[in-house]
Amino acid sequence: MQNPRKYGSPPYTVSVLHGGPGAPGMMKLVAESLSTDFGVLEPIQTADSLNGQVEELVSILEDHSVIHAILVGSSWGAMLGYIVAARYPSLVKKLILVGCAVMEDKYAEKISETRLNRLSAEDRIEAEKLFKLFEDPSMDDSSGAFRRIGEIIDKADSYDSTGESLGVIETQHDVFAKVWGDAKALRTSGEMVEMGNLIECPVVAIHGDHDPHPVEGVEAPLRKTVKDFRIIVLEKCGHIPWIEKHAKDEFYRILREEIRN
């Protein structure tokens, strides 16, 4: 598999960063849409540690002579872009956070509850069983349970989905467990928020008003540390704006405008 996947024509000024961790390919639709106007890279995250994914992304950008990158990250990918912008500030021209994960533990406490409350009784029972299964970090996911919980969560994360496939190549529970474990440690220690003091580029967050990750969990922490920060809230929109019937067009309009400016 090509890594990164390339869309449009060089120079590749925009890089889209997928979520999960462990959901490679989920930014394909965004990359294809943006490629009519920009050269786009879609890095496939393969490293099984946070630091490994940071260095992997930096290496990909450098290998493609991307000196002033515009990073568009979704969910975990937004957090990855944030960390890269903090550790390598001269490398990033602009950072766009789409449905970013919350930056402090206190905002994460009710995410699972919100999701479960949005599900049917049948899906809620299945989800609760799977969540308990995932409490064991050494779990062998040969049964495809990680993919199944993703399918259930997608229902809770959406406001009114178009039903389009995100194009995820494969779900990787081992990558998720290791990388997200590293990220949670940074968040719990407060280091994640403090990294914002090191970011020199403009940071724009695009967040759905129906996203179970509360918007204040991104806005409040980053306003304290990031010098140039703005947030745009999309109405009738869940965690993944580009597959939302009511928000898709507005999302792409805003995204293109932010990339150009």
Distance, in Å, from the CA atom of 79 to the CA atom of 29, rounded to the nearest integer, reads 20
CATH numbers and ranges of domains, the chain: 5-110+141-260 (3.40.50.1820)
Percent of the chain topping pLDDT 70: 96
pLDDT for 256 equals 98
Average pLDDT over residues 43-59: 96
Residue 170 binned pLDDT confidence (cut-offs 50, 70, 90): confident
* Tokens of residue 33, six digits: 């849409």
186-191 long-range Cβ contacts below 8 angstroms, 24+ apart: 186/50, 186/83, 187/102, 187/103, 187/104, 187/105, 187/108, 188/105, 190/104
What's the pLDDT score for residue 172?
A: 86
Tens-digit pLDDT profile for residues 236-249: 999 999 999 999 99
| In the predicted structure, residue 134 carries a pLDDT above the cut 80 | no
Q: What is the mean pLDDT of the segment spanning 81-101?
A: 97
| 16 closest CA partner among 59, 75, 63, 67 | 75
Q: Tell me the pLDDT band of 140, cut-offs 50, 70 and 90.
A: low
Torsion sign over Cα 69, 199, 82, 217: negative
Question: What's at 110, amino acid-wise?
Answer: K
- Computed over every residue of the chain, the mean pLDDT equals 93
Q: What is the pLDDT of residue 144?
A: 77
Percentage of the chain exceeding pLDDT 90: 82
Assess whether pLDDT exceeds 80 at residue 87: yes
pLDDT at position 171 is 82
The predicted pLDDT at position 137 comes to 60
For residue 230, the cross-strand partners are: 204
Helix (H) or strand (E) segment spanning residue 15: strand 14-17
Q: pLDDT tens digits, residue range 198-235?
A: 999 999 999 999 999 999 999 999 999 999 999 999 99
Task: Assess contact for 44 and 3: CB atoms under 8 A.
Answer: yes
Question: In the structure, what pLDDT confidence band is assigned to residue 138 with cuts at 50, 70 and 90?
Answer: low
Q: What is the pLDDT of residue 184?
A: 96
- At 209, is the secondary structure helix, strand, or coil? coil
Cβ contact 3:43 at 8 Å: yes
- 16 to 74, 124, 207: CA distances (angstroms): 8, 32, 16
Res. 136: pLDDT tops 70: no
Check if the beta carbon of residue 45 is closer than 8 Å to that of residue 20.
yes
Q: In terms of Cα–Cα distance, which of 73, 260, 41 is closest to 183?
A: 73
Read off the pLDDT band of 88 (50, 70, 90): very high
pLDDT of residue 129: 85
Angle at 69 between CA 195 and CA 185, to 5 degrees: 25
pLDDT at 148: 87
Poorest-pLDDT segment among 36-40, 55-59, 98-102, 129-133: 129-133
pLDDT tier at 143, thresholds 50, 70, 90? low
Please spell the DSSP secondary structure of 75-139, one letter per residue: THHHHHHHHHHHH-GGGEEEEEEESPPPSSGGGTTTHHHHHHHHS-HHHHHHHHHHHHHTTSTT-
Q: Which two tokens stand for residue 238?
A: 């869940």
